[in-house]
Every structure is written in C-alpha cells, then in structure tokens.
Structure 1
Amino acid sequence: MNKEVASLHPVQIWENFEKMNEIPRGSKKEERIIAFTKQFGEDLGLETIVDECGNIIIKKPATPGMEDRKGIILQAHIDMVHQKNADTDFNFDTDGIQSYIDGDWVKAKGTTLGADNGIGAATIMGVLASKDLKHGPIEGLFTIDEETGMTGAFGLVEGVLEGDILLNLDTEDEHELCIGCAGGIDTNVNYDYAESAAEGKAYHIQLKGLKGGHSGCEIHLGRGNANKLMNRLLWETREKFGLEIAEIDGGSLRNAIPRESFANVVIDPAKADEFEAYIKQVEADYQAELKVTEPNLVINLEAIATPAKVMDVKAQDALLSAIYSAPNGVIRMSDELEGLVETSTSMARVQVKEGKVVVQSLTRSSVETAKYDVANQLDAAFAITGGNVEHGGAYPGWTPNAHSQILEEMKEIHQEYFKKPATVNAVHAGLECGIIGSHYPNLDMISFGPTIKNPHSPDEMCEIGTVARFWDFLVLTLERVAKK
C-alpha cells in the first residue's frame, strides 16, 4: 500500500482504494476481492449477501430521522482491466498495483491503475463505514466481471434489491451526469490454417508506443489501432518482399484499443536491405499520419532465427484481406446528441500462432439494429477466410430518461455546489445500468464520478481534486434525496 496515496483527502475513499489495489482483481479472477468485500460488510455488522454470481450486496439502515427517504443503491464493479507496458515486469495474478502521486494525479507504475471502477467501489465502502453521514436506506451493490461481459449484472437476481434509486459510480468526467449508454456485442473469429515450411530471412516486427485506451470512451479521438496498422504493413510488404507470416500477437483485451502488435515474418533474403529500409519508411509514414494523436509511435525491426513454419500463402492472403476490409473505429455519430458516438467497432485482438487464428472485435451502439449491422459486416469480411465467426456477449444499452426525478435533484445540487450547471449526456461506453434496469425496471438511475483519464491502458490516471469534490457531491445527494 502506498501510504501517501491512502492518506489523500477524502481518506474514506483513498484508503479503501489502496486496500483494494493490494488484491489482484482481474475480470473472472475476482475470488479474493469478493472475499475482501464480503468481509468488509460483515466487519461493519451489516447485512451482507453474496449471490450465486459473486455480486455482493451490503445493506445499511437509514440514519435516524431519514427512514422516510427513498432507498438508494450505490453501484460499482470490483473487477479491473489488466494492462501493462511490454517492458513492465508485473504479474497481475500475484502483484498489487503500485500507485503513486504525480502532481494532481494518481497513476500506476507501468500498469492500469484500477480507478475504473475501484474509486467507485471504494466510495461505496466509505459510505457504508461512515458514522456521521445523513442518508436514507443504503444498499451497496458490488458487481463482478463488468469488463469482460457484465456477467455479474446479467446474473443479478430480482427481488434482492429494495432501493428506489440507483447511483452508478462508473462515469469518468467531473460535472457529467450520465443518463444513458451504448449496448455492445462481441465478434470472435477462430479457425485453423494450413502451414508450410519456412525458407528465408526472419524478422521480429514491433509496432508500439500507441496510446490505446477505452474503446468506448476514447474511440472518437482518432488514436491508432495497432492491429489495423500492423495488418496494413504486412499487406503492403507481402508481394514486394515475398513476406510470409509466422506469428502475429496484437492487442490483449476486447474492450481496449490495441496499443501494440508484434509479428514474426520471413522474407526473401536477397531483399533484406531493401525491406529494412522500407520498414523505416513505413514508420515515418505512420508517424506523419498520426503525429498529433500518436506522437510516440515506433516500429522496431530485429533479425531472428528462421522459424520452422509459416502460414500457407492462401490462408495468409485471406486473413490480411479480411482484416484490411473489416470496419474499425467510429461508424456513425448520433443525430440526436451532439458529439456522441452512436456506433463504433474496435478490432481488439489478432493472434496467429501454431496453425490457429483468433480475432476479436467489440462493437458498440446506442441503436440495436446498427449494432447488429456492424456485427454482420465483420461476419462478411471474415467469410473469405472460411473461419468460424461467432457473435456473443451482447448487452443492451440504457435508454435515457430526461424526466428522471433524481436527475433534477442532482442538477440542482450540482449548480449549488459547483456554481455551474452539470453536463447531462449519454456515453458510448457500456454501463451496467441497462442490464440492472432490465431486472429492476422501476429504478430511477444516474451515473457520475470523478475524472479518470485513459482507462484500460497503463496511462490510466485519476485526478485527485475531483475525487474530493465527487465525495462532497455524493454526500449532499444522499442528504437531500426526496422522501418516498
């Protein structure tokens, strides 16, 4: 635990956050953080429930005199995205996140910070443990596996929660009150390919230095997709240099813009010098194209021992064609909300190794029909490979309610506290509100939080001052929530 971070104001949040970051809590590996959260509730003497999925519900009675207020469910997810820089020695299964203070921000050394959504979960713990806050009935809902399928929200049982209002603490811009989000669907391509014997000079290509980030919140920023850039390079060099692919390893997580891609290739030895010069030119071209959004992009080339096998040329051509033609990035902006991405897709993962291909894309849209249209485009693009294309993990969006009572109350509180109006909008990221609302359709829901930049990447950071103001804003909301 970094004691300097743990002692930041408000300590109710930061101390709990640092305790959480000592515990590995990657998606689908949440056993230890579930046990920690369960013990937290039991140590407070509060009713604590762990459902069949692993979601934890901790119930705290109203403070005296507030029993007639509407019940509030405070909700956050306890899993985090595991991403690290290639040169960072870190084991997410055993090591705790190494946070540190950098000016006005808390960051992590070479890995994701876990502020998404650890700050939200730590905030709920702070409310549950408090002895001096005024509030009506409180339920802390800690969901699992939000980052890789939202299975915790999907598995939430009806009838367990009693509240009238759900405050989701997973929005990442101060002053923003979120009232809607996009839905999503995964497209997974898996198939075997034929191999042939490798002959020629071999190289290891490293394309790295990209910013990456959240494929929902940051898809509109024009950042490079390492998988698409690597494929473009391979496409352009396959005939010119007799290039053959031995391996590709690009991206890592389905919901993160890929920052790095690596490939082992074999070329005609007679063209080695020309190939090396050409890769330098490709690097310069990419740097010129993306000089604003990706100033640290680099392509490194290293000679390696010739591998035993490469992709069969027909399989290679089909894969490169499929990836090149597959959609990626922003597909359409919203006609109703200015500046909001309506539909996008991100090619998150490309792996070619030992006769097997894996390609993963995540499509997001606030329009259900558009979501499935892009999924069909991906299906069509990869038809040329003859591979197995599956769509799964679909989750619904959250339809905005412009007449929400809690929205009106929080807009008023925001104006009084911050002396400026709140920004009310929807986000292109996936939030659990839509799924939870399908189980509890009468909930009045809103999402908000402190400022977190670059989630889902090792550049993730949380702005310290916004956490304190977020806490104050939440405390005022709990005090002033309407009567039943």
Structure 2
Amino acid sequence: MEQLKQSTAYAVFKNFEKISQIPRCSNDEEKISEFIYDFGKRLGLDTKRDDTGNVLIVKPASPSFEGHDPVILQAHLDMVCEKTEDSLHNFACDPIDIVVDGDFIKAKDTTLGADDGAGVALMMAILEDNKLEHPKLECIFTTTEETGMDGALALSDQWLTGKNLINLDNEEDWIVIVGCAGGINAYLNLDINFVEARDLNNFQIKVSGLRGGHSGSTIGEARLNAIKLLDSLLIKLQNELPIKLSKIEGGSKHNAIPSMANAIIGVEAENIGSLKEHFEAISLELKDLYLKRELDLEFTLEEVEKEDDLYIDDEQAKLILRSLSTFPHGVNSYDKELNIVRSSNNLAKVRTTENSFYIETSIRSSHDQDLEDLKDTVKKQAEIYGYKIRFSEGYPMWKPEFETELLDKAVKTYKSIRNEDMEVLVIHAGLETGILSQKYPDVHMIAIGPTITGAHTPNEQWSISSTEFVFEYLKTLLKNL
C-alpha cells in the first residue's frame, strides 16, 4: 500500500493491509479476533471480547462532545474466501495478495475481503485518530457474518448503550441503507445407492466462467446458475445416449450464486464418439442461448481416470437431475413500491457423497409471509423427490425506519459534501442490523460504506476514491451527531 501514502484515506488502507495478512475466512476468525482485541488494548481503550470472538472497543467522546449520545459503529471480521480455479492460494496461511490498479484495489486470483474488511479498516482508522471530533464511540466487530451471522446472534443485548448505529457493510457510497431482507438456509439430503458397472470410459463435464455474485444483491440480475446449466446439459445428454452418473458437484457458499459446476459420467467405448458429438451440439445450443448474459461461459468435456467402477443407480440419477431442474432458483417476487426483489431462492451448493446427494439453498425475503411460502415450496420440493430436509436458525429482516434524526443527518451531511441527494434504500441482501435491531429495538440504524463490486468472487474490487470520500463523510457525520 506504499503507493497510497498520499491518499487522504491512507490510514484506512494501511489497516486493511494489516488485516489482510491474517486468516479471516468465516469460521476461521480466532487470529483476526485476537488481533482486533490487542489493537484496542494497545490504544489504551476499554476493550472486551466474547466467546464467539466478537470484539467491542469503546473510545471516549472527544472534548465538548461528552454530552452527546454514544454512537455505535459496526462491521464484521470474516470474509468470503473464493479463488480462481487455478489459484494455489491457501486462505488458512497465505496473506491476501493485494494489487492496486488505477482507482481500484483488487486481489490476485482471490476475493479481496473488502467485504467487510473495508468497514473494519475504517473503524480502526477512526479509533486511532485522536484529532477527530466525535461522541463516545462503541465499535463492535462481529464474527461469522457470511455463513450465518453467528457473531451478531450471540452478541449480548447488554453490551451497547448508544442510540444510533452505523453499519459499515454497504457497498455503494451514494446509498444509505435503512432496511434489508431476512433469510434462512435449507439443507436437503437424498439417500442414494451406487451400483457397479465395469469397463466404462469416464468423462468430466464442467461448466465454468459464469459471473456468480452475491445471492442477495445480484440475484435480480438474471445471472446464470452453473448447477442449473450443468443439470440442463446432463438431461439433454441423457435423452440422447445411455450415460452413467458418478457424481455432481457445484457451488461453494450459501450466499454466492454458483459460477462453476462439474459432473463425472461413464459411457461405453462404443458411445464415446456419440457423446462428443452430442456434447458439442448441446454446448453450442446453450451458448447460443446464454452467451449474451454470460460472456465467459465455458463447457468442457475431458476424459478422466476413476478409482472405482461405482455409479449412482440409474433411476436415482434421473430423479436427481429432475429434482435439480425443478428446484426453485432466482427471484420469487418483487416489491413494486420499493422497486427491489422481495423474495428469492439461491440454489447454492450440490455435493455427491458416499451414500447421499446433498443440496444447500439460501432463501431470502423482506416479508414474513413470503419467506414462509418459499420455505414451504422448498419443503414440498424435497418431499416430492424423497429428500430429508432441515432448516437453519435463520436471521430476521431489518424493518426500515424512514423518519429518524440519524437518517436525516446522514442525508444532510452527504448533501453538504457532494452537493447531491443521497439515495435511501431497502436492500434484498441480509445485514446484521436485522439481528441487532431485535436485540436493541430502541437503536436507530443505517448502513453506509465505500463502493465495492464483485463481492464474494475473485473479481472483487474496492474503489480508492470512494473510500476517501466515505472516510471524510463518516468523520463529518460523527461530528454532526
């Protein structure tokens, strides 16, 4: 980050570089939690940590601000750990390889972790700066947001005293968020039998190059799901020649639209030519349909070695493919008044194990009844095809408040700096504010943050100029509170 020394937000970028040296994938946050705890202690500030790894650092009000209500700042410590197919990066021990490219900060072949490392670094810079004018600050760093919001769920309802909370997990600097969807995950398992079939030639079929993306913020953009596309290809092949299905795998995170998926199939030697011919024709057909939506879409067929002669029972293989073809994915309903996606389902992950086929899906909604209806749809789908199903604990929606002093000052402060109006939005993605608003119902909340694109993918990039603006904006807003 040496090339950013002249930046007005260098304090932010310097801290981001520090946390990027530390493992912080979801569920591997012990070291980053310890680092932030030690950071607060080194500053001589009141600091504590709970059993989940959440850290609270309290900074006293600056002179003449002692009579102002305390303000809560909040960001999450974990990141989505995704990498390109050919990357050798080990998130458990390798630092993020940061690249500065014009106005953007990126990572080489991995997610950058600006979601929500940018918010963490902003808070660290605010805590370090003793020249700022601000009320008492309660800075809460939560854990495991990306995989279930465990930190927010476990947070004590006695820790915080402020009446205004600023969440720093927003990715568009011209927007202030005042509400978000709630959600729940569903886990489906189908018991399967493997049968022996000797002397088959085995091929891997792979779908890759899709944009993927966040299953909340980009679900309404008609991005293709690699699992769905692979399933369509396999069904078309199955209709043309006898194939044996060995496994299907796709997706990696519940909150990411799958960008890659693959399957292993077996065919008799006499059908290899026919397989290649039909694969080529079907691939061209699907590319013709979807290439305008997914410019880097790729289908590959490669002969591979297989350790055993076991394949999924033919009838069960057909059932699996049918279940994936009818499984809900994408937008379920729109909120016309707010002009946002109201409810959706993300077919997120599939896996073939020794004795079962596994599906993981993420359901979101900003309306209680829609969420229940979509849960019921997924449950009925599971029952039709014989899957066992269970649901996660879920997280609540954040119901919007459009008439608060916090929001009013946030909008006016923005106007004073940029001389334009700030957009006030409710979003379809989930934020920890939904949980925090239930634990602290009297606290008014907003979410802001610098511009980040490609979150949850190796294409993630973080705007430098936007961060400079948000750093100035946040400091000014704290002074105005």
TM normalised by structure 2 equals 0.97
Q: Secondary structure at the match of 1:395?
A: coil
The 1:95/1:5 distance shift into structure 2, 3 A limit, reads farther
Shift of residue 190 of structure 1? 1.9
Asked if residue 99 in structure 1 is aligned to residue 98 in structure 2, the reply is: yes
Distance 1:205 1:373 in 2: 35
Shift of 1:47: 0.3
What amino acid maps onto 1:178 in structure 2? Answer: I
Alpha-carbon separation, structure 1, partners of 2:296 and 2:218: 17
What residue is the counterpart of 1:90 in the other structure?
89
Shift of 1:244: 1.7
- Could you say which residue in structure 1 is the equivalent of 2:43? 44
Aligned to 2:417: 417
Letter in 1 for 2:81: H
Offset of residue 466 of structure 1:
0.2
Counterpart residue number, 1:230:
230
Partner of 1:283: 283
Counterpart in the other structure of 2:253: 253
Paired residues of 2:233 and 2:283 also in contact (CA < 8 A): no
Whether the 8 Å CA contact 1:214–1:255 is kept in 2: the answer is: yes
Q: Structure 1 residue 277: deviation in Å?
A: 2.1
Give the corresponding residue for 1:118: 117
* Aligned 8 A contact 1:74 1:139 in 2: yes
The alignment partner of 1:282 has SS state of: helix
Counterpart-to-counterpart distance in 2, 1:440 and 1:161: 8
Deviates more, 1:126-135 or 1:386-395: 386-395
Contact 2:25/2:91 (<8 A) preserved = yes
For 1:8 and 1:203, the matched residues in 2 are separated by 52
Aligned partners of 1:5 and 1:106 also within 8 Å: no
Amino acid in structure 2 at the alignment position of 1:71: P
Q: Which amino acid aligns with 2:59?
A: K
**Counterpart position of 1:242:** 242
Q: Distance in 1 between matches of 2:4 and 2:293?
A: 30
Gaps of 5+ in 1: none
In 1, Cα distance between equivalents of 2:338 and 2:441 = 24
* Aligned position for 2:77: 78
Tell me what 1:142 maps to.
141
Deviation per CA, 1:217-269: give whole Å up to 9, x if none: 11111111011111111122123221221111201111101110011111243
Q: Counterpart of 1:194?
A: 193
- SS of the equivalent of 1:273 reads helix
Equivalent residue letter for 2:415: Q
Distance in 2, matches of 1:301 and 1:321, equals: 22
1:130 to partner: Cα distance: 0.5
Q: Which whole-Å CA distance do the structure 1 matches of 2:433 and 2:258 have between them?
A: 26
Corresponding residue for 2:300? 300
The one-letter code of the counterpart of 1:321 is: R
1:318 aligned residue:
319
Q: Distance in 2 between matches of 1:357 and 1:139?
A: 46
Change in 2 beyond 3 A, CA 1:353/1:276: farther
Q: Confirm whether residue 478 of structure 1 aligns to residue 473 of structure 2.
A: no
Q: How does 1:73-472 map to 2 (within 5 A)?
A: 73-199=72-198, 200-306=200-306, 307-338=308-339, 340-472=340-472
- Cα contact 2:240–2:278 (8 A) shared by 1: no
CA distance in 1, matches of 2:232, 2:345: 18
Q: CA deviation at 1:416?
A: 1.1
1:188-237 C-alpha deviation (Å, 9 max, x unpaired): 01233101113422101111011111000111111110111111111221
What amino acid is aligned across from residue 161 of structure 2 in structure 1?
E
Q: Distance in 1 between matches of 2:300 and 2:150?
A: 39
| Local SS of the residue matching 2:393 | strand
* CA–CA separation in structure 2 for the residues paired with 1:7 and 1:19: 18
Looking at structure 2, the residues matched to 7 and 356 of structure 1 have their Cα atoms a distance apart, in angstroms, of 56
CA contact (8 A) 1:248 1:353 kept: no
TM-score, scaled to structure 1: 0.97
Give 1:387 deviation, angstroms: 2.3
**Does the 8 A contact of 2:411 with 2:422 survive in 1?**
yes
Cα distance change, pair 3–310 in 1 and its aligned pair in 2 (3 A) = farther
Aligned to 1:23: 22
Q: Is the 8 A contact 1:61 1:137 kept in 2?
A: yes
> 1:474 Cα deviation (Å)?
0.3
Give the aligned residue type for 1:159: Q
CA distance in 1 between partners of 2:331 and 2:281 (Å)? 28
Q: Deviations over 1:308-336 (max 9, x none)?
A: 11101121122111111111011111122
Contact 1:107 1:460 in 2 (8 A): yes
**Using the alignment, how far apart are the partners of 1:376 and 1:315 within structure 2?**
24
Residue 176 of structure 2 aligns with an amino acid whose one-letter code is L
- Structure 2 equivalent of residue 55 of structure 1: 54
Q: Secondary structure at the match of 2:402?
A: coil
Structure 2 CA distance for aligned equivalents of residues 6 and 188 of structure 1: 47
RMSD over aligned Cα, in angstroms?
1.3
- 3-state SS of 2:337 partner: coil
Unpaired stretches in structure 2, ≥5 consecutive residues: none
Distance 1:375 1:9 in 2: 47
Identity of aligned residues (%): 34
SS in 1 for 2:394: strand
Counterpart Cα distance in 2 of 1:140 and 1:6: 25
> CA contact under 8 A between 1:75 and 1:140: conserved in structure 2?
yes
- Decide whether the 8 Å contact of 1:326 with 1:377 is kept in 2: no
1:367-422 Cα shifts (integer Å, max 9, x gaps): 11111211221222222432211111311100000112111111111111111000
1:6 positional shift: 7.2
Q: Secondary structure of 1:127's match?
A: helix
Rounded Cα–Cα distance in structure 2 between residues aligned with 1:195 and 1:295:
37
Corresponding residue of 2:68: 69
**Structure 1 stretches of 4+ moved >6 Å:** none
Q: Give a deviation string over 1:112-171, Cα, whole Å, max 9, x none.
A: 000000000110011111111100000110000000000111111111111111000001
3-state SS in 2 of match to 1:238: helix
| CA distance in structure 1 between the aligned counterparts of 2:28 and 2:191, rounded to whole angstroms | 29
Asked if structure 1 preserves the Cα contact closer than 8 Å seen for 2:258 and 2:349, the reply is yes
Distance 1:94 1:69, change over 3 A: same
